[in-house]
Amino acid sequence: MRNNAPEIKAPKGRIAVVADGNSPDPDDLGGTAISLALLRASGLESQLVHYSHSCDIVRVNRISEKAEIERHALMQSVCDVTARRWGGFEGLKFLDAKWNMDETIKDLAKAINVSTAENPLWIIEAGEPDIIGFALNASSKDKHKYVKVITHHPANDDAGDFYTWQKILDFGVEEVRIPDQNINLKVDIAKWDWARDHKDPRLQQVWLYGKMAEVDDVVKFQKGKWDCSDAGMILYWITGANVNNGLKQGTVDDVKSILINYIEK
């Protein structure tokens, strides 16, 4: 057991994740694997009420149509495989936001509509904001004050094709902004050798998806890196968010300690 693990002190409420992964940057592969593993390891998997991926609705020229189709398959795989192997997510359907847009919007709007002061919804913006905007537009206005959107990077905020970040805020949601998580969570791939070499195949599986992003041939800036930056928002939430002074700049060691403590129990 590792004694330096951060304290798990998530705020009240539920959590929803809207990720991309079908955009040129493949970092959501590692980010999704770590996000799900962290929720399970912290005992908070039942609080995850929505997870959608491939939220980049309009394809850009930097990724070909064939490569984007591959990404949809990879993102569905990382969701389904990680959830099954780590366990605890049996009641959750992982949704492809672009290919099943109506169902995705309805699912997220449903989660928004049951929100209260005692049971708010925390939405992790791990991709473009459009799906969040569509779901807010499709939900009850009187529930928006119980919605909090966690973001860490303007590259997501400003990438929408239908909603600007300001339009998201105009719905009356609470903005919860933390620093760029790439600083500590996009690292040299050797810093993840502990997961690759661990005897538990669940950690090997998590490492494998981050490695798949590293060898992806669409972008060059992931070469030599293991990137789970979007999972930093999950780490922030499970350690307290802006209610209980969560980790605003979590590290690979924080992730490692939480996952290994869970496995060694």
Which residue type does 177 have? R
Spatial neighbors of 61 by CB under 8 A, at least 6 apart, are none
Provide the angle, in degrees to the nearest 10, between the axes of the packed helices 65-86 and 201-214.
170
Domain locations along the chain: 14-264
How large a percentage of the chain has pLDDT more than 90? 95
**pLDDT tens-digit map of 155-184:** 889 899 999 999 999 999 999 999 999 999
Pick the CATH number of 14-264 from 2.60.40, 3.90.245, 1.20.120, 1.10.10: 3.90.245
Q: Would you say residue 1 has pLDDT above 60?
A: no
Q: pTM value?
A: 0.97
pLDDT for 2 equals 58
Rounded to the nearest 10 degrees, the angle between the axes of helix 252-264 and helix 231-238 is: 60
Nearest Cα to Cα of residue 263 among 192, 213, 206? 206
Predicted pLDDT of residue 104: 98
Q: What does DSSP assign to residue 190? A: G
The pLDDT assigned to 265 comes to 87
For the segment 31-59, the average pLDDT, to the nearest whole number, is 98
pLDDT band, very low/low/confident/very high, at 4 (cuts 50, 70, 90): confident
